[in-house]
Each structure stands twice: as C-alpha cells, then as structure tokens.
Structure 1
C-alpha cells in the first residue's frame, strides 16, 4: 500500500467590539477596523445586507452609512444596501438565498471584499452562509441588532439556513472577520424580542458559571425593565462565556458528538418547527431549559432547591415554561422526533446536556421517555 499524507492547522481570530451609534461619523470603531485591513493597491468592496426590521426603525441608516464611508480610503461601498426579511422566514426561503448569491456575483464581490450583515440572528445566519459559500469564502462582518444575536449566535462561528423543515440543515462553520455589538439597536426592540433574548444568558450560566446565574437572580427586576446597564452586562458576560467555550473547548467546529452550549435546545428546535416558527427561538429555548432542568431533577442529578431557583428565574424574566406541543402520547409523538433530529444534526451518538448543579452541566447519551413525559406533565400542571 502506498499513500501521501498531509496535516495542517488553520488559526482563526476575530474580535467582538462593544460600541454605540456605530455609523455616527464621530465613532471611529468601524473605520479603524477597516483601515487595519486595508492593503496598498487593492480597493476592497463592502456590500451591506440589512434586516428589514432594522431599516423600519432606523430609516436613516442608508444615508448614515453612505456619509460614514466618504472618508475611508481603500474601500468601495456598494451604494444601495440590500434589505431582506427578518426573523426565521429569512432562513426558510431558498430563493432568497440564491438571490443573495446572485447579488454578490452581480456586484463582483470577491474574496478581498466584505459582506456586512446587520440584523437579528436569523439574518446573520443567512448572510454568513451566503458569504461562506460564495467564491469558497467571502469575508463577512456581523452587526447583531438583538439581545439574542449580541450575546449568542452573532458572536459564534456558525452560519446556516433551514431545509425541508430542519433547522440549520444547510450551513457552514465560518468565523466572522469581526463582530460589532451596537447597543443603540436594542432600544427599538419590542419587548418579546429583548426578553426572549435573555434566555441564552440563563443557559450559559447554568452550564458554565454559577456566579453569573446568581447575578441574574439579583438583577432580575432590572432585567425585566430592560435596564440598559444591566442588559449590557448580561450581553457582554454571555458573549464572553460563549467565546471562551468556542476557543477553549477544543472542538469549535463540532466535529465530535458534544454540544454543551445547546443545553435546552433539542426540544426547542423541534418546537420552533412544530409551531411554524411562531415561537421565538429564545422562547422555545426557555421551554427547553425548563424541560431539561425538571428531567435532571427527576433523574436525581439536580437538587430540588436548584430546580426551584431555575424555574423562579425564568418566571421572573417572564419567559415561557410550557407549550402544548410538548405533550408525549407515545414514542411516535412529534416532540420525541426532535431527539433523533438533534442526534442526526451533529452525528454520532445522541448527546444531551443536562444539569448536575447550577453552573455545572453533564452530558448523557440516552433519554428515558417515561421520565421525560413526567417532566412535561409537571411543567403543564405545577407551574
């Protein structure tokens, strides 16, 4: 037998910036980043793709972006920003994906260029995927505009769209060139969006940082009022924990079967699909966290006091704990199919994160459906 072998590694590096009024000409954060990427003799293009919910509340954005780029050398702004539907609908529309790829082609966006996504997590997922598959990888910059995207999906390395009703079936691991969290965009979110966005902070605290969970308990009142300082601390700490996991877990592209940052997500992904995405992602994750926390207690992993604290915090943040589509009649029930779909999405054996304690997750490789049904019934009847 004869063969040739090669082995190499690729280092990725990107920064998450925290700023306000990013395209105010007095704010040089974005300009400084671009200037650090400028190359003599190469004029790089920038194409902006923006969530329509953002343009609705910030109708000055087009003019502001145009004015901002008047004094930045080495870059060519594609004058008309591309506006796309926001929310999960943007990830369900294959024709929108193809149209955006064609748009990059029409504007001759090459691998020296940048695609800049501004919007919630769904739009950023779509834009990142479009960039990643065009020319085998156009650089993309993320400007998340929701609590959920600023503290979770927007700072990570995943991109994707839904396919045949399966969440993120098509996608890539492609880190952004940079992320800019602009607090200004949060001021125009409706209550349902900023409230559901906080659940990812609850999730990461439960599996990674008991002290952060304690902080959320003591600041729950301020958080439910969208206190700016409290919300900004929550976003930053959650983003720190997510990025620390991506860089420190040794499996940033999820090549194994472990996915601890998806605590509470196996049922959440299925609930989103079953409700035709009427449930916000954060709302579905809140229900998933409640379900898996009760299951952890029923199996003897988690103590009763910790379970009570988790349920109390979710309720104080006015997040949902139950949905009728959780009901399990038998092993053919719709929500049960979510277990196999979750396993299939990552491959290998089923791996579900549960709780050993607040701040300490533990992975299991099987779920007892009788106990799971009991957990669903408790969520329905007790709280």
Structure 2
C-alpha cells in the first residue's frame, strides 16, 4: 500500500488488546477497500441502505457480497442482530472480512454481530456521517438497544481498520450535518478551549463554506483530543443517553447530545462551578443549531428513566462531567432530583429564557 495515496492517521489503542488502524483517503469504489487492505480475504459488505441511493457510483458488486441494511437508532436492536446472524451463517467462510459502511448505528449493529459470532473475524469500518467520523469507532465497545433502552447491551470490540472519507458527508443534509458538529463541540468543552472556539467559528461560517482541508482538520483534532484525554464520558453524553431512552429512541443522538450539553451546563451553573455568561454563550450556539424553543422531552418519561437507573445501580446519583470553564470539567455525583428540576425549568421557561 502506498501511504502517499492513503494517508495513515495512526493506530489507536481502544482498550485492553484492542486497537484500530485509521486511514483517511477518498474512496472511488468500495471494492478498492478490500483490495487495499484484505486482498487475500473473502469480503462481505454490510451497507446502510442509503448508500445505494446517494453513493451508487462507489458500489461495485461484481465480485463481493453486498447486503444493504435499513438502519437507524431504533433498528439497532437484537432483532437486526438475529437477521445478520442468519446472513453470516450462510455467507461467512474461512478468511472472511466484514466491511461495514454507514453511520454509528450500523457500526454498533455490525460490530456487535461480528464479535458475538466470532472474535476472529476482522471488521473494517467506513463511516459515512460526520457523527460516525467523530468518535464511535474509538470507544472500544459495540452497543445494542434492548426493550427501547439506549445501549443496554454491549460487547468489547473495535474495527481492525477505519477508513475516513470526508466526501461521504457531502450528501448529508445541512441540518443533520450541523447537528453532528455538536460531538466536536462536546470534545472542545471537555478537553480543550481552543478546539471549542475552532468548532464554534466553523459553525458560524456555514457548512457551504467548509473546505476539505477544514473538515480534515476538524476530524483529526477531534480524534486526537478524545484519544489523548482518555475520558470515559464527555459533556452532554450522560443526559443525551437518558433523553434518547425517554423518547423511545425517537430523538436523534446529535440533537439529544445538544440538549444534554445545555442541561449539564445549566446544572454546572446551579452548583456554582460555571460562570453564567459561559453557559449563555454555549446555549446560544446550540439553540441556533437545534432551532428549538422548548425541550422536546416528556418529563414523566424522563423521571421514570432516572428512577429505573436508580433501581439498577442502587444509587440516586449520576456521575456527570461538570463544566468548570471551556476545556475543563470535574466529575461529580449529581442527584436525579437536580436533573429533573433543571429539566423542568428549561421545559417550562423555554430554551431561550
């Protein structure tokens, strides 16, 4: 392989005995991925069904088995896992590599299935949305929803190789693309002030003005900050998980993360850790992205989810990274009551209060 044609970003340790090799280059045809990295393997492609609609030019099915899968957060379930088990049973032979092409939900589905079928099947992942290029492939776990509970089941694992091709996101709609930047915003809030300001400035430019070089810088900076920080959870993530479960997985993750950042930052102000002027600046940026007047959350459902978590963990508190200032957090236990009171305030007063 010629590294001048295929930019090698690095090898990332994602857990004990786990790592993923990361490359970045433009993919003309998906079949080339197999030729470059696994030329001696039988290749099995699992694609988000939208790839065939928006990137038909990249698909060549003359030599490889390709399975299009309809996938979203709600479809990231055991039912889909069982469907893939059946497909794997019929199509996997010795020396098979599974190549997943899609967003974060597809990575979880394919990764969970591959790992629980056999720990020896290599997985190559090509993320196709901005959110899936920003973090999920380095967390060291594949997560599946169960009984409408967000990420209830998990198995350790990472793709053997991840290939980033920013050209995929050029077909992503502007609204969801802008929302996906909230993952990078969370990285900046948690890890480094200068990166937060970089993301904030990038958003103010408007996505039509994002160059390929800017996208590459955004992806690489975000990746290395998340790797360097070694944090288990970032600002907004804990509440985002609760919000998605309370919505029966109807709220998109990026939107739930934005709401989670606002709620957790408001809690930080209430506890006296964060200056209110910083909170208002963060909230202004996020509300301009989400374009919401009120929280789209059912308070009763949220209350039930928090109480359910209490029963499972036998604890009435949640460890949340509380923002102190841009790029600096402290992890402290927050009571379920504090979370509910904050949500009630934002729900009844509105996000622009």
TM-score range, shorter chain: 0.7 to 0.9
1:51 and 1:85 in contact (8 A); partners too: yes
Kindly indicate whether residue 19 of structure 2 is the aligned counterpart of residue 46 of structure 1: no
User: What is the RMSD of the two structures over their aligned residues, measured on CA atoms?
Assistant: 2.8
TM-score (norm 2): 0.84
Aligned to 1:14: 20
**Selected match of 2:215 from 225, 231, 237:** 231
Superimposed CA distance per residue, residues 25-81 of structure 1 (whole angstroms, 9 cap, x where no aligned partner): 8xx77644336xxxxxxx422110000111111123332x64xxxxxxxxxx5x230
2:244 and 2:253 in contact (8 A); partners too: yes
**CA 1:324 to 1:29, structure 2 compared with 1: closer, same or farther past 3 Å?**
closer
2:319 and 2:334 in contact (8 A); partners too: yes
Kindly indicate whether residue 83 of structure 2 is the aligned counterpart of residue 83 of structure 1: no
Q: Determine the C-alpha separation between the residues in 2 that align with 1:343 and 1:113.
A: 43
Structure 2, unmatched stretches of 5+, are: 1-14
Aligned to 1:184: 167
Aligned to 1:59: 56
2:255 and 2:290 in contact (8 A); partners too: no
Secondary structure at the counterpart of residue 105 of structure 2 = helix
Correspondence 1:62-141 to 2 at 5 A: 62-63=59-60, 66=62, 79-92=64-77, 94-110=78-94, 112-141=95-124
Between stretches 357-366 and 313-322, larger displacement belongs to: 313-322
Q: Displacement of 1:326 after TM fit?
A: 5.4
Kindly indicate whether residue 277 of structure 2 is the aligned counterpart of residue 277 of structure 1: no
Q: Displacement of 1:364 after TM fit?
A: 1.3
Q: Displacement of 1:347 after TM fit?
A: 9.1
Q: Displacement of 1:209 after TM fit?
A: 0.9
Q: Displacement of 1:223 after TM fit?
A: 4.4
Kindly indicate whether residue 347 of structure 2 is the aligned counterpart of residue 364 of structure 1: no
Kindly indicate whether residue 233 of structure 2 is the aligned counterpart of residue 260 of structure 1: yes
TM-score (norm 1): 0.78
Q: Displacement of 1:16 after TM fit?
A: 1.6
> Which structure features the higher share of strand residues?
2
Q: Determine the C-alpha separation between the residues in 2 that align with 1:300 and 1:117.
A: 45
Structure 1, unmatched stretches of 5+, are: 1-8, 36-42, 67-76, 250-258, 328-332
Superimposed CA distance per residue, residues 224-273 of structure 1 (whole angstroms, 9 cap, x where no aligned partner): 4461343332222222222334xx45xxxxxxxxx323x31233223223
Q: Displacement of 1:214 after TM fit?
A: 1.5
